[in-house]
Amino acid sequence: MIAASFRAMGTTVQVTVRREQDIASTQALFRDIEDRCSRFLPGSDLSRLNDSGDCDLAVPRPLARVLEIAADMRDRTDGLVDAGLGAVVSAWGYNRSFEQIGESLVPSPIDSRPDWSVTDGRMSRSPGTRFDLGGVAKGWACDQAVEGGHALIVNAGGDVRSDSPEALVEVMDPWGECVARVPLGIGALATSSTTRRRWKTTEGEAHHLIDPRTLTPSNSPIVSSTVVAATAVEAEAGAKAMLLHGVDGLAWASSRPWIGGALAVWADGSVYATSGMELQAA
Partner 1 sequence: MIRKRFPKIRTLRISAWTTIALAWAIAIVGRQMEAPAAEEAALVPEPTSTTSPAAEVANTMPTMPEDGLVVIRYTPAPPPPPSVVRQVVVQAAPSSPTVSASQGS
Q: Which of residues 193-212 bind partner 1 (CB under 8 A)?
A: 193, 195-200, 205
Q: Applying CB under 8 A, what is the total number of residues that bind partner 1?
A: 83
Give the one residue of 34, 159, 211, 234 binding partner 1; rule: CB under 8 A: 159
| Shortest Cβ 82–partner 1 spacing (Å) | 17
Compose the 231-250 pattern: x for residues touching partner 1 by CB under 8 A, - for all others: --------x------xxxxx
Give the one residue of 169, 215, 229, 241 binding partner 1; rule: CB under 8 A: 169
Does 191 bind partner 1 (CB under 8 A)? Our answer is yes
Question: What are the angstrom distances between the C-alpha of 153 and each of 80, 161, 228, 230?
Answer: 28, 6, 15, 14
Does 131 bind partner 1 (CB under 8 A)? Our answer is no
- Cα separation, 21 vs 31, in Å, equals 16
**Which residues have CB under 8 Å from 169's CB, separation 6+?**
160, 181, 182, 184, 189
Give the one residue of 25, 50, 95, 164 binding partner 1; rule: CB under 8 A: 164
Give the one residue of 24, 28, 58, 251 binding partner 1; rule: CB under 8 A: 251
Q: Are 145 and 28 in contact (CB under 8 A)?
A: no
Single-letter amino acid code for the residue at 14? Q
Does 272 bind partner 1 (CB under 8 A)? Our answer is yes
CA atoms within 13 A on the CB side of 221: 11
Cβ count near 181 (within 10 Å): 15
Cβ count near 144 (within 10 Å): 20
Does 31 bind partner 1 (CB under 8 A)? Our answer is no
Compose the 50-89 pattern: x for residues touching partner 1 by CB under 8 A, - for all others: ----------------------------------------
